[in-house]
Structure 1
Amino acid sequence: MEPVQETTVITGPSQEDRTYAMLLHLSQFTGYLIPFAGLLVPLVMWLMKKDTNPYIDAHGKVVFNWILSALIWGVIGVILSFVVIGIFLLIALAICHIIFAIVGAIRANDGIVRNYPLTIKFFKV
């Protein structure tokens, strides 16, 4: 008789965690309605759950890596706008911000943690 092997089932994040992470990514859009809300709302959401949920912590790091990177790219764009090319950089940054947040939200809902492109990694994910 062969010994019975135990199998370990590793489950991904719960649907509630995936929905919260998705909303964390989408909360960046609140900055379009209320100044600085696109920074504060994701920050509060991340800080509330980062110590208790590693999945939310990872997504919070992804979001804040992007927010800080976008601020840096935006400052560079403003400086370069005096040479006209910065205007195109700012337009591209706005388009990237929208696309990256939506794609990040979809991936979060699918249980995937991945950094946005063009992101400087301030926090290790």
Structure 2
Amino acid sequence: MPDNHSKNIATFIHLSTFSRFIIPLGNYIGPIVLWMVNKDKSEFVDTHGKQAINFQISILLYTLILGTISIPFFIFKVFNGLDFVDFHGFHDFHINIGKPSPLLFITGGLAFLAIIGFILELVFIVIASLKARDGELYHYPLTINFLK
């Protein structure tokens, strides 16, 4: 059973990922610094630190993949929609509003998936923090174990 100090450090490791809203790359810097300083003091802290860092790296990888998939759809839609406004003088001005492109639906679906992923990430971080506070181990779902 971990002591209170180890529980607090493990909780702060998970919560330090929220520092990205204040410091760029804080979701990597915070957990790495806390984990590196305290990993030798407790196996509990070491496990939670590795989990938090692995989860953040996995989220980065998933975001890069999702972005790489969605960028071509966005670019094709932009270049396809350049004739949205036709202006041939004030006597012949009209806006072309036609059927939405399937690319728009695909890009919108990927954006919706990214928003759901962001919300789930926040939920998983809070759950991991609460488990660490209670002295339990927590393994983030869909995490690739880069640090073992």
In which range does the TM-score fall when normalised by the shorter chain? 0.7 to 0.9
Deviation at 1:86, TM superposition (A): 2.7
Deviation at 1:54, TM superposition (A): 1.0
| 1:80–1:87 CA contact under 8 A, matched in 2 | no
For this pair of structures, how many residues does the alignment match?
A: 113
Q: Which runs of 5+ in 2 are unaligned?
A: 74-106
Asked whether 1:18 is paired with 2:42, we answer: no
Q: Matches of residues 23-102 of structure 1 in structure 2 within 5 Å?
A: 23-82=12-71, 83=73, 84=107, 85-102=109-126
Secondary structure at the aligned position of 1:74 is classed as: helix
For 2:7, give the aligned amino acid.
Answer: R
Deviation at 1:111, TM superposition (A): 0.8
For 2:122, give the aligned amino acid.
Answer: I
Percentage of pairs with the same residue: 33
Inter-partner Cα distance in structure 2 for 1:96 and 1:77: 15
Inter-partner Cα distance in structure 2 for 1:94 and 1:29: 12
Inter-partner Cα distance in structure 2 for 1:68 and 1:53: 23
Partner of 1:106: 130
For 2:128, give the aligned amino acid.
Answer: G
Q: Which runs of 5+ in 1 are unaligned?
A: 1-11
For 2:144, give the aligned amino acid.
Answer: I
Deviation at 1:78, TM superposition (A): 1.0
- Per-residue CA deviation, residues 45-74 of structure 1 (Å, 9 max, x unaligned), is 000011221111000011011011000111
Deviation at 1:32, TM superposition (A): 1.1
- Decide which moves more: 67-76 or 78-87: 78-87
TM-score (norm. length: structure 2): 0.72
Structure possessing the higher radius of gyration over alpha carbons: 2
- Decide which moves more: 76-85 or 66-75: 76-85
Larger strand percent? 2
Asked whether 1:118 is paired with 2:147, we answer: no
TM-score (norm. length: structure 1): 0.84
